[in-house]
Chains A and B, each alone.
Chain A
């Protein structure tokens, strides 16, 4: 078998892996939802591309729309970077099944690096860039400029993809590496919004203008960056392969706190201990928690030190986001981690009911974190106390009950102890998280518009208090519906365990 045939074989296996994933293999609805979401986001990008091309035209003293847009390209690349965590696996993981076969390791690494780095996913931004470029560049400056500009964007996405692969591979070594992109992205954002005129505006515009004018120096410079990133990735992935194969978890347990203060709550207390231990002893939930706190801090600090998020919508969004983020990341996959030991739970009487209640209390308890983080914002008057109270109660009494409904329908097991999960939720979960993140702002705006401040927030609080007061009822209802669906769910959990 020559190298090309081997490459084709590896590619075929990867395609089969995706096609035969248990989540989609037998689920037409899931396939439909996936396609729907894909088209939905594409439509949003097209809409953004068109509106920005029209909106930015002449908006800044005659500066061309694409020059304004290009000044913000680091933001697009940052979004692109974080979205990749949902979609893209590392070459090390992809190559792992083949490492003990008689295939050269360097060949494997090259195959998967090329597949990852030059994947079609890099073209997804085209849904925004092509309509934007057609209106803002092709029409006034010609097709050659448009193609050059688009080519430049594609190269930048590829370079960004290699940056992501590098960080993600480092993350398999230690979670602390997450700080690296957070610091870099934080610094970039600071350089863009802290000074009166963005420090990056001009260099970014010049770079992409260079592509639009087909300036060879710029093209070669980006090629050189891609080559360096490729080589750095190659070295890192290569060194990580053996670590992955011979990966041995640290076996000595450091934290064996008995949490005896929870004993007073009887069985619920035991399930709460389980919840706490799941969070602190498994990499995926721990990572979600740390990321949540990190984002909360980041946005709150940005709001505190700058006027970047001083608009009404952004204030509401950040306040809601801080309250709901930990809940969304955890509860969107409610029961999915338990899928790993669902048979054990189901062989104990009413264990799911007790578990759901424990989850509710635990997640509600975590809501003491956001007001602590946002306390400086409240003291400085940048965010109102009423807004905080409104969203706090709305989260615990309205949004949590909505998220808990997923306990009835979730049936895919999420791995507990992969450093970053390969399964970040299906389309239903994505739709619910989207609804949870945006609908409450509409409710808040409507309530404050109709009733005025603070009565709108008081309304949010009251609706939340009703949810809290009736929590045993709606949790019981969820449990009963779960039990009706138990066979379907258990089958799903078993089918997706270790997949």
Chain B
């Protein structure tokens, strides 16, 4: 599923949050989105997910048979999974209940849910399922894991994760990288990941967009991992 952004603009007062003339994210691509704080990464994700109103422009999800403007229909929600922040979590449920809820409203049967959870067993590290804790009582890292897993639960064709490595311990960060790569290989899903962690972004994203004041200033080919130097130069990491 392709994502086509055209003439997309969002201002908060005087501040330009997003200003993208034209940008296409190809089907099956893992796109990394990087930029300083306030560059507009989360706002762009929210615009793609129709959670805020664009001042101008459109976001389309498109493949050979469909061309959908996300602001005009809800059809795309059937194949899009996302986790931006904890406003995606129903925190008075236990993780077990939350996954069951998502599975049932997405039409998944209990076996499918069980198989899904089995795949994430290592990632969950015995700290999420069967813990008899509400999501609100989980650590920030475990909440993050629940959010990421819930986004992936309906096996979306488009997966959007805002800073998925935040709060995770190193082994979980590594695990999620592998899970995302594997998921992309198996399903050919389009994956958008924003992160401040350049190393992880470079590791998993063959293409990286650099955002500054809402504008995509560089569209970097990273198939061979060559974006590292360019990004380090931009963020002045070696100075």
Q: Which residues of A contact B (CB under 8 A)?
A: 249, 251-253, 256, 263, 266-267, 270-271, 273-274, 277-278, 281-282, 340-344, 346-351, 354, 416-417, 487, 490-491, 494, 497
Contacts and interface: CB of A to CB of B under 8 A. Distances in A.
Contacts of A491: 52
A281 B134 contact: yes
A281 B52 CA distance: 30
A277 B97 contact: yes
Contacts of B90: 274, 341, 344
A277 B91 CA distance: 11
Nearest to B154: A348
A65 to B, nearest CB: 53
A479 B47 CA distance: 21
B105 A343 contact: no
Given A274-B90, A341-B87, A416-B92, A347 B80 contact: yes
Given A266-B104, A348-B77, 12 more contacts: A256-B94, A256-B96, A267-B104, A270-B101, A343-B84, A343-B87, A344-B90, A346-B50, A349-B75, A350-B74, A490-B52, A497-B87
A341 B90 CA distance: 6
B105 A251 contact: no
Interface of B: 46, 49-53, 74-75, 77-78, 80, 82, 84-85, 87-94, 96-97, 101, 104-106, 132-134, 136-137
Contacts of B77: 347-349
A253 B87 contact: no
A341 B51 contact: no
20 contacts: A249-B136, A251-B137, A252-B133, A263-B104, A266-B104, A267-B105, A270-B105, A273-B101, A274-B101, A341-B87, A341-B88, A341-B89, A341-B90, A347-B82, A349-B77, A349-B78, A351-B105, A416-B92, A417-B92, A490-B52
B116 to A, nearest CB: 17
Contacts of B74: 349-350
Contact of A343 (B88, B92, B94, B133): B88
A277 B52 contact: no
Given A249-B137, A253-B133, A274-B90, A346 B51 contact: yes
Contacts of A490: 51-52
B87 A340 contact: yes
A299 B49 CA distance: 49
A277 B104 contact: no
Contact of B92 (A277, A348, A350): A277
Nearest to A354: B105
Nearest to B94: A253
B101 A342 contact: no
Contacts of B51: 343, 346-347, 490
B87 A342 contact: yes
Nearest to B74: A349
Chain B CB within 10 A, most for which of A270, A282, A349, A497: A349
Contacts of B97: 256, 277
B85 A343 contact: yes
Nearest to A341: B90
Contacts of B89: 341, 344
B25 to A, nearest CB: 18
Given A267-B105, A270-B101, A277-B97, A347 B133 contact: no
Sorted nearest first, the 7 A-B pairs with minimum C-beta distance are A487-B53, A344-B88, A349-B77, A343-B87, A251-B137, A281-B92, A253-B132
Nearest to B107: A267
Contacts of A494: 87
B92 A282 contact: yes
A497 B82 CA distance: 20
Chain A CB within 10 A, most for which of B53, B85, B87, B101: B87
Nearest to A250: B137
Contacts of B50: 346
A487 B137 CA distance: 30
A108 B96 CA distance: 43
A271 B88 CA distance: 16
B34 to A, nearest CB: 22
Nearest to B88: A344
Contacts of B49: 343, 347
B132 A252 contact: yes
B46 to A, nearest CB: 8
B102 to A, nearest CB: 8
Nearest to A280: B92
Contacts of A249: 136-137
Chain A CB within 10 A, most for which of B74, B80, B92, B93: B92
Contacts of A267: 104-105
A460 to B, nearest CB: 36
A72 to B, nearest CB: 43
Contacts of A497: 87
Contacts of B94: 253, 256
Nearest to A273: B101
Nearest to B151: A347
B108 to A, nearest CB: 12
A277 B105 contact: no
Nearest to B85: A343
A154 to B, nearest CB: 43
Contact of B91 (A251, A270, A341, A342): A341
Contacts of B75: 349
Contacts of B52: 487, 490-491
Contacts of A281: 92, 134
Contacts of A274: 90, 93, 101
Contacts of B82: 347
A489 to B, nearest CB: 11
